[in-house]
Structure 1
Amino acid sequence: MEVFDYKGICLKRDKRAIYLDPSSGRPDGAVSHAHSDHLKPKTHMTEPTKEVMIARTGSKEATTHKFHEKFKINDFELEFVSAGHVVGSAMIDCEGVLYTGDYNPYGTVTAGVAKPQDCDTLIVESTYGKPDQVLPDRNEVLSDLQAWIMATSAKEGAIIGAYSLGKAQEVIATANLGGVTPVVSDVVASVSDIYKRNGVKLEYNTYSELTENEQKTAELLVTSTTAANGKKQDEAVQNMRKKGAKTARVSGWCAFSEWALRSVDAGFPISDHSDFSGTMKFVEECNPKQVYTVHGSTKELAKQIQKQLGIDAQPLPKYGQTSIEKYN
């Protein structure tokens, strides 16, 4: 079997091929999760991923599978395994080749955890692929976030900007654990409703459905990063800011980039991706013979995997460059 970068992540055997997170919608493709840089219609996906696709794009064209259900595409046998990234996110296991997609081995309140899988070939994301990209303890940061919410929301009011699929739901769950029911934007509500339908307990109120008086007295608003901190702020953000609400951003990049902390009063480095330490541990426990790195600091991560773990590793090659057999 060959693995290379061609219209997505291509697995090829003889004259047959399949595409993981393909660059366009195609029936011989499978997608890992519903973030827009991975999601394409007309592909194979989990049911929650399809639900998000419908909510965001209106498209219903997809073939769905349950986690751990074996299915075939072009005579390749595949299986979706929890990735712990967002609702419905999946690592894709295909006959000894494991593709992580975006994954989280630390576990989340709302999307489970990615567990290492024995494999011959591992294709791993490299979002935080540099040795200095190690996030602080997740539980400690969540505790700090909860304390900030409780201290701030009842006083000036608080606005938290987070990706509407994934981290926004982690924020809602964290607020709920502190006894706070946030108000959320329509886009956050539409995704959070899908989490609830899939068994995740979340308590929130949708801003647009509140009375004028309820809107004025809202204490905590959870909205998208763009709406919270961008130039085009929606009505909810504007109203909260008028009464002096404090702002915060929830993103792993708060630990590594000054831009992530611009225009906010607080930043909380919570990510739904693995950091460098988590990736190295995950790779080691998967015990692959070959590793291909994708999506991020691919060269640096491959270098460190070879150096620290002694496993053959390289960025995923373009079509025609190499094959798995050459490295086994």
Structure 2
Amino acid sequence: MRVRYEGGILVQEALKEVILDPARRTPGSVVSHGHMDHLTSGGIMTPQTVAVLKVRRGGTGQPLPYGKEIDLNGFRVVLKDAGHVFGSAMVRVDDLLYTGDFNPEGGSTCGRAQPEFVRDLIVDATYGRPGYNFPPKHDVESDLLNWLEMELAHGPVALGGYEFGKSQELIA
């Protein structure tokens, strides 16, 4: 199996190929989730991400529920909950796993990413360097609630966040 970046993660083996998170509309591709840096029309994605795509870009995609295996261009493809945002998916292609953005703790609108035993692993790692070490999610949530209570005693508070993902976590 050969893997390289070519406007997305291109996976090839013999005459088979599939592209993951392509930069532009690519039929027969797989889209991991609804953030704008991953979201394109025409590919396979969770039903939730299809709905997000319709609202955010006016596009269409081919829905594939978590856990359902399909044949895509000769590869076995399965989507697994990535725990990142509503509808986010890790993509298993035969014995390779592409994480997309993932979260083993999960979120308020999604489950949590579960370990997969594979031969090859491609990790989308915004915070992959060892220097990044975040406190447990429940500590962050508790600190935020305490801060909000303190600030609300002085008047209204406005919180901002990305329109898809962080905003849903704040509301939940």
Please say whether Structure 1 and Structure 2 have the same fold, judged by a TM-score greater than 0.5: yes
| Interval of TM-score (by shorter of Structure 1 and Structure 2) | over 0.9
Counterpart CA distance in 2 for 1:154 and 1:166 is: 27
Q: Which has the larger radius of gyration?
A: 1
Counterpart CA distance in 2 for 1:149 and 1:172 is: 13
Give 1:20's aligned residue. Answer: 20
Shift of residue 151, structure 1, vs aligned partner? 2.7
Q: Are 1:169 and 2:168 counterparts?
A: yes
Counterpart CA distance in 1 for 2:91 and 2:58 is: 25
Given the two structures, how large is their TM-score scaled by the length of structure 2? 0.95
Shift of residue 77, structure 1, vs aligned partner? 1.1
1:102-139 deviations in whole A, cap 9, x for unaligned? Answer: 00012222222111100000000121122111012211
Give 1:94's aligned residue. Answer: 93
Counterpart CA distance in 2 for 1:23 and 1:106 is: 28
Question: Unpaired segments of 5 or more residues in structure 1?
Answer: 174-328
Give 1:126's aligned residue. Answer: 125
Give 1:35's aligned residue. Answer: 35
Give 2:4's aligned residue. Answer: 4
Q: Are 1:153 and 2:128 counterparts?
A: no
1:300-320 deviations in whole A, cap 9, x for unaligned? Answer: xxxxxxxxxxxxxxxxxxxxx
1:192-222 deviations in whole A, cap 9, x for unaligned? Answer: xxxxxxxxxxxxxxxxxxxxxxxxxxxxxxx
Q: How many residues align?
A: 172
Give 2:74's aligned residue. Answer: 75
Shift of residue 154, structure 1, vs aligned partner? 4.8
Q: What code does the residue aligned with 2:21 have?
A: D
Counterpart CA distance in 2 for 1:78 and 1:92 is: 7
Q: What code does the residue aligned with 1:36 have?
A: M
Q: Which has the higher contact order (CA 8 A, sep 6+)?
A: 1
* SS of corresponding position for 2:124: strand
CA RMSD in angstroms comes to 1.2
1:1-328 equivalence runs, <5 A: 1-59=1-59, 61-173=60-172
Shift of residue 152, structure 1, vs aligned partner? 2.1
Q: What code does the residue aligned with 2:158 have?
A: I
Shift of residue 76, structure 1, vs aligned partner? 0.9
Q: What code does the residue aligned with 1:99 have?
A: Y
Counterpart CA distance in 1 for 2:72 and 2:23 is: 17
Q: What code does the residue aligned with 1:57 have?
A: R
Aligned sequence identity (%): 38
Given the two structures, how large is their TM-score scaled by the length of structure 1? 0.51
* SS of corresponding position for 1:126: coil
* SS of corresponding position for 1:3: strand
1:270-306 deviations in whole A, cap 9, x for unaligned? Answer: xxxxxxxxxxxxxxxxxxxxxxxxxxxxxxxxxxxxx
Shift of residue 27, structure 1, vs aligned partner? 1.4
Q: What code does the residue aligned with 1:54 have?
A: K
- Structure 1 segments of 4 or more deviating over 4 A? none
Moved more, 83-92 or 19-28: 19-28
More helix by share: 1
Shift of residue 156, structure 1, vs aligned partner? 1.3
* SS of corresponding position for 2:123: strand
Counterpart CA distance in 2 for 1:148 and 1:38 is: 33
1:3-53 deviations in whole A, cap 9, x for unaligned? Answer: 111221011111221100012111120010010110110111111101111
Moved more, 16-25 or 81-90: 16-25
Counterpart CA distance in 1 for 2:54 and 2:115 is: 30
Q: What code does the residue aligned with 1:100 have?
A: T
